Amino acid sequence: MAKEFSNDEQYRGYQGLPFGGTTRYASIKNHEGLEQSWGDELESLGYMLLYFVRGSLPWQGLKAATEDKKRKLVQQKKMALSGGELFRDLLPAEFATYIEYTRSLGFQVKPDYRYLRTLFRTRFQSEGFKYDNVFHWTIKRFQEINGETS
């Protein structure tokens, strides 16, 4: 769904666009029929992260007579849930901050990627983790291959 644009002049305030993408991960602006931008991509990524940790999303399983009505229900559910409510008791508060930030971005606003990296890096370090390129799943697989148990 990504497309290239290089300057603000290309944005003409498109509204009433047909829905594009997967309802489950779509940004709120996509549901509203608005032109999508950087922030929408990041918002969708946030929903994927939430799915990875929960195994489902709060709007999964909603029933409606038509696909359009179902998309509307999903949109309403997304709009009703704040970042804090989405990630509460699942992930650190930085994830809620992330989703709220991505939802707040206007079309022409390029995300502050440095801010987002710092947000997560600070939490990572406060938890005592070190960036050493060794991942827990790598260690586990190494132990499985070599017949070791932990």
Dump pLDDT digits (tens) for 117-132. Answer: 999 999 999 999 888 8
C-alpha span between 56 and 84 (Å, rounded): 17
Q: Exposed, middle or buried by CB within 10 Å (0-12, 13-18, 19+), for 94? A: middle
Most confident of 5-14, 18-27, 89-98: 89-98
| 30, 24 Cβ separation under 8 angstroms | no
Query: 99 falls in which pLDDT band (50, 70, 90)?
Result: very high
Q: For the stretch 119-128, what's the b/e string if a residue is b when 16 or more beta carbons lie within 10 angstroms of its beta carbon? A: beeebeeeee
The model scores a pTM over 0.85: no
Domains of the chain, first to last: 10-111 (1.10.510.10)
- List all residues 6 or more positions away from 54 whose beta carbon is below 8 Å from its beta carbon: 90
Q: How does pLDDT run across 31-76, given as a tens digit for each residue?
A: 887 778 889 999 999 999 999 999 999 999 999 999 889 989 999 9
